[in-house]
Amino acid sequence: MVRSIIVFLFSITLLISCKSTYSEIGDKEANFIPYYLKVYEADSLYYACNYTKYKTELEDLFHKYEPINIMSYFEYEKYVKTLIIIDNDKKYKKELENLISNFGYKKDDLLKDSIFSIAFNNNSFDLNHIKQLEKKYETRLDSDFIKELKIIEFNDQEVRNRQNITFEESVPLMKEVDKTNDSIIKNYILRNGFPSQKVIGKFSLDILFNHFSYNGSYDFYKETLPKFIINGTCNPRIYSSLIDRWSLINKGEPLYYITWIDKLKSIVNDTKKIDQINFERKKIGLPSIEQEKNMLERLNKVPTN
């Protein structure tokens, strides 16, 4: 009896211990900075076709963190592809379902992919089941806020692309639109926290926050966004876009060189400067300059096996 109780208590302790080492997106105690950095580091393995090593690195990461599938890196997508490449006889049904229900991938798009189509052909998916998975993803999103974001995005671009109007005439109009958009997003954050990919899907906020740096609540975002980077809800690029634009306007030079990476040409031989930029990038979970350049060069390229 005593032995049974000890075994039971040990099992409970082990479960609690394992749970405490796993971070979900949005957890108050989470720190996703190491997650971001590991994704950038492992990305080169995938494009070097070192699939076994990439698989190991990502599995270790996913044992500790809920996958984000970071924009431009799409680590969970590439992880599933890696599984298929290594052993294309297996079905990987659960992984395919996760892509649809958790990350919003569509069956037709997956079937068009030469690698995903292999796994799909190994499975027999019922059409109604696929629709249920897609609905599960859509239900989780904040559809009302996404509609609002689309209006915000339209207004943001419309006022900046009007014909037959001078830049001087457009400035007060842009300022008015940016202030309105800023108020909506700021209030959303105050009520609900940062709108992560789990909430708004693949909608990108980078450009909006770039504009908020000079026509919005810059000080609020500068202070607030870092904690959302840490808990995994805010992509570091959104924050760096805000800071870089403000720094460029007020100091004549960006801090992270995210939006203005072409400006690096002027300091390419300044090793000390590059090291300082990389140091600042690493602190908020951004890739190094070299990793960033590699990602931009590889973007939209698919490795072959």
- 3 state DSSP class of 164: coil
- 3 state DSSP class of 144: helix
Using the 8-state DSSP alphabet, how is residue 65 labeled?
A: B
Task: Decide: residue 89, CB within 10 A, 0-12 exposed, 13-18 middle, 19+ buried.
Answer: exposed
> DSSP string of 266-283?
GGTT-HHHHHHHHHHHHH
Which candidate, 216, 234, 217, places its Cα nearest to that of 225?
A: 234
Question: Taking 70 as the threshold, does the pLDDT of residue 304 lie above it?
Answer: no
pTM for this model (two decimals): 0.87
Q: What is the pLDDT of residues 88-147, one digit of tens each?
A: 878 888 999 999 999 999 988 998 999 999 888 888 888 889 999 999 999 999 999 999
Residue 302 vs residue 222, higher pLDDT = 222
pLDDT confidence of residue 212: 96
Question: Taking 50 as the threshold, does the pLDDT of residue 5 lie above it?
Answer: no
Q: How many CB atoms neighbour CB 253 within 10 A? A: 13
Q: What is the pLDDT of residues 263-290, one digit of tens each?
A: 777 787 889 999 999 999 999 999 999 9
- 3 state DSSP class of 23: strand
Q: What is the pLDDT of residues 10-37, one digit of tens each?
A: 444 434 444 468 999 999 999 999 999 9
Which candidate, 102, 123, 124, 100, places its Cα nearest to that of 110?
A: 100
Question: CA geometry: angle at 70 spanning 243 and 93, to 5°?
Answer: 170
CA distances from 92 to 3, 43, 80, 121, 288 (A): 40, 21, 8, 11, 33
